[in-house]
Amino acid sequence: MFSTRLARCLQACLFLVLWANCGDAVPPASPPDSPPAATSRALEEETPVPPRFVPGRVIVKFLPAGPKQAAVTTLSLQGQTFQKADALPQGAELWTLVTESGQKSLSVSQQEQATTAAVEALRQRADVEYAHLDVYFDYFAAPVDEHYLLQWHYPAIQLPLAWQTVTGNVSIAVLDSGRVEHPDMAGRWGPGHDFGYETVGASDPDPTTDGRYHHGLHVAGILGAKWDTAGIAGICRDCPILPVKISSTDNRPILSNVAKAIDWSVNHGARVINMSFGTLAPYEEPCSMYPLIQAAITRAINSGVVVVTAAGNDNRDPSVVTPASCEGVINVGATQRNGQRALYSNGGPLVTLSAPGGGPDIFGNGLGCHDPNGLTPYNGTGGAVSTWAISKPGPQLSGSDYCYRYLSGTSMAAPHVSGVAALILSQRPHWSVAQVKERLLQSVNSIPGCPTNVCGAGMVDASKAIITNMNLATPSCSVDANTATFTCTNAPATGGVAPIQHTWTVLENATLTSSTATSAQGTCTRGTEARLLLTAMDAEQTGLSHERGFRCPPPFLDAAFANQHVPGSLPPESTYSVSVTMTNTGAETWTAAGGFKLAAVAPEGNTLFWGVERVELSASDSIAPGQSKVFMFNINSPFALGPQPFQWRMMKEGQGLFGAPSPRTDIGVWAPAWNAAVVRQTVPTSVPMGHSFEVSITMRNTGTETWTPASYARLGSQNPENNTLWGVNALTLPIGASVPRGQEFTFTATLTAPGTPGLYNFRWRMRTLNTTTWEWFGFGGFTENVPITVTLPPRDAVFVSQSGPAIVMVGSPFVYHVTMKNTGTQTWRASEGISLYTGSSAWNFARGYLAPGEEVAPGQQKTFAVTVTPAHFPGPQPMQWMMWHNATGPFGQRSTVTTLDVLPQAKVAFVRQTVPAFVTPGQSFPVTITVKNSGDAAWGGTPGYQLAPVPALQGHNWGHTSVPMEPGEVVAPGAEKTFSFTAVAPMTQGPHAFQWRMRVQVSPGAFLDFGDATSRVDLLVAGPCYCPPGEVCPDVVCNPDS
């Protein structure tokens, strides 16, 4: 044992040099001013150090079918014999190296090589669940720098506020270097145990430290130093501190001992386990490499014990550190006095939260420490202050060896969280680990510049973590007098266990419209005391409530009914005058500009039922509070029969109805047998005298009798009654018409204006005949009286005369004369679109025009000579003429209608003729002319068809004005007609034109030419002495007298 301890001591010195820069818990052997960081880097690069473990010891867990079941107690592994030495928690076992000459005969290096080889051999076996080394752990204390006030780390996490509520009373197990009888820990130690042996299976109930580095004393002081007038105070005043020693003589915990220590703590009533130790850099040793330690931690957590670990001081990710990377632990990073992350602190996603750990000094100053040996440096005030003893083995300490000291590291941060967890469990001993952890995570403050994936949720805050008594402030409420709406506000409840549910409840005279944890909105009943109740209930169903009352102001807008005058019954669709009086009982004066009106409220959903929905105030009305207003207005009764609701209420635009309504009154609507309502009418307001005009009047039958011609229902003239100013005194229903109740009928008529200018009334009403008395009586509503002005027309005309042929032929133009007199007030001009017009397609819409610049002044006459071409309508055709204005159409009196006989269109083709070339003056000579009927209609059949000289050549008629056809003679289409007659030459010598054409007599002395003329022949008429004019005829010797 001695040689082993000596070897481990030498090894400890080696680790000291390696890890001084990382805050090694073992006091350095070199002076404080030596450069350990540079030495550490050099060694790390040149001679990597193997992981720290106990040589000759392996931890293994066999599967149920393995050697364990066969009671095998020795194994040969890689040429070395290992024997089962101890049973560990969760079915694991500790096996140790045995050789023929004994373990001590091997060097430390040989033992380490044999141990690592044995672990690898075990891992290859199919019956092994896991196997690993029995590693050493280190305590986490870190370098620090600045000087700050004593015990700065308590206010940093708000402990003074937390202590106002709880000081703690649950057991905390400190798995560390053991117990030291420091005066400030007197009476604070609970039962403990010593697992800090390298000897397999060794332990004892006395956890007094046998080392000289009192890491556990510093941790325990943070957790539970006495509260008195001397020294310091621990976080948990009345929490028993269970010292569970896990350090061997060289102050490094061994993994297998830690597993036992965890189980012991659970079995001896610890509610919190603090583990301020772990594996160091550069080796990556995650918890998954050591199932034994994970199993022990899992059992503790499942037993309701909170396990707190230090994240480590190597400024790396704690995921490669054991036990910091074990599942279920609360892993704590460190902050400095300035509240920022300590640079040495491990950081990463596995950090749960952070707490004060101090820094950046190395080993802090002592407070009252008298250390003549100088085995540990005292440098700086940046660390956490706690109990300490000078570096002497524990049993050799005496009264003057006890003191206080600044020390830094995640080892110091972890007990801060363990202490706060103990305070929580002191308040809620029934809480699970998960509940405690959640409470801690909800009770943090952010760490400047450090994200949550490095520093965890944040810095622990004890004042938030502990459960204070709930406090709920009384809410305040405000009311809007205009709208009778209220808003109540409150600060959220404090204390208790989150989440806290805030609930608003109406007690009386109010209605909630919305609410949140900090406010409530709603409406209140005017003129009453409204009361609300605010209740806050936390997650443990602890509740507080406050009642809040307030006065809801009387209405700013209000009204009261005074009286009304309304008929008890009305006929349907009739108009009646009513009045409703309302009194202003509010605070605002009613004016039209203010938007005040009387509004219909019945029937509900049909406020236009009575024909009016709103009744306005007049512009001069000003109804002050206390005054009344009489609203007088007309209503129109509905078509529906029976009792109908009538009710009104005051309103203001933009704010709606207010005040009390008038009493609901049912007005009976009855229908007489004969009744009518006017729907609409179309009537001109100005008509020229004597002119015709169109009107339409639509009436609705609102009686019970059906209107028919047989019932004598008709529209009669009024004002005066039964007048014939407009040409008729009644408009009747057409045969077959039937107008039952509710239906409409439109009377249309063409009326004539009186012949005298002036203003005339136009009004009508339905009437019928009393078949008993045979007297006419009117019924129903009157149409609106329309004053019609009868004027002299601006454009008017009177027919004077007309003349023209009585017989015409299709397609053959003729001239017709029409004389009209201007009887209007405007002069007729062509430029104003005035013309004479037939308006008939039979006459090809013939039109007579005024000459450009011609004027026909009022009173003057104008004779139009109109060229008319009959259209293709043979037979008798009526002809009538009217004056026409292009913009407005016909005006004035039309001509009388005359009928013209329109002959079918006759066509003639010349065939041949027999005519001499030369005749003497006065000579008679025979002529034959043959023509052909080339049209579709026959000639003749009536007198008047004849062959006559062409009109332009009538001076050369050759002794005939015409050659008539034989009476009754008809020339069918396609037939020829030969005229034979004796012509007589004129007495005038010279060439004479000889040409004939067919014609028909259309009136005495009037003829209508048709068809083609014969070929023209210039027939020479000459005697013996004839010499053409302009010529010399020497051969002609003539004596005219001879």
Query: Which sequence positions are flagged as catalytic?
Result: 176, 215, 411
Residues of 1007-1040 as b/e, b for ≥16 C-beta within 10 angstroms? bbebbebbeeeebbbbeeebeeeeeeeeeeeeee
| Amino acid identity, position 225 | A
Coil, strand or helix: which one is 43? Answer: helix
371: its two tokens: 């250390």
Query: What is the bridge-based pairing of β-strands 648-652 and 656-658?
Result: antiparallel
- Provide the pairing of β-strand 730-732 with 744-752: unpaired
CB 309 within 8 A of CB 459: no
Identify whether 499 is preceded by a cis peptide bond (ω within 30 of 0): yes
**Local structure of 662: helix, strand or coil:** coil
Q: What are the backbone dihedrals phi and psi of residue 898, each rounded to the nearest 5 degrees, phi first?
A: -120, 150
- Measured CA to CA in angstroms, residue 661 lies from 421, 647, 649, 658 at distances of 68, 7, 4, 8
| First and final C-alpha spacing in the chain | 204
Residue 319 neighbours by CB under 8 Å, 6+ apart: 286, 325, 348, 349, 350
- Judging by DSSP bridges, how do beta strands 272-275 and 172-176 pair with one another? parallel
The CA distance from 278 to 759, in Å, is: 120
Instruction: Please give the C-alpha separations between residue 720 and each of 716, 724, 732, in angstroms, as whole numbers.
Output: 10, 9, 19
CA distance readout (Å), 32 to 36, 148, 302, 378, 387: 9, 21, 44, 9, 21
**Token pair for 1037:** 């010797």
Tokens of 527: 């003129």
Backbone dihedral region of 306: left (phi > 0), alpha (psi from -120 to 50 degrees) or beta? beta
Evaluate whether 449 touches 335 at the Cβ level (below 8 Å).
Answer: no
72: which residues sit within 8 A by CB, 6+ positions away? Answer: 84
Tell me 895's DSSP state: P
Could you tell me if 189 and 241 are in contact, meaning their C-beta atoms sit under 8 angstroms apart?
Answer: yes
For 1025-1041, give the secondary structure using H, E and C. CCCCCCCCCCCCCCCCC
Other CB atoms closer than 10 Å to residue 625's CB: what's the count? 13
For strands 797-803 and 758-770, give the pairing: unpaired
**Which H/E stretch holds residue 510?**
strand 510-515
Q: What angle do CA 354, 356, 358 make, to 5 degrees?
A: 125
The span from the CA of 777 to the CA of 1032, in Å, is 107
**CA–CA distance, 383 with 221 (Å, rounded to integer):** 14
Contact 358, 144 (CB under 8 A): yes
Strand order in the sheet with 889-891: 847-849, 834-837, 882-885, 889-891
98: tokens are 């045995």
113: left (phi over 0), alpha (psi -120 to 50) or beta: alpha
Q: How far is CA 639 from the centre of its chain?
A: 43
Other beta carbons within 10 angstroms of residue 67's beta carbon come to 18
650: three-class secondary structure by DSSP: strand
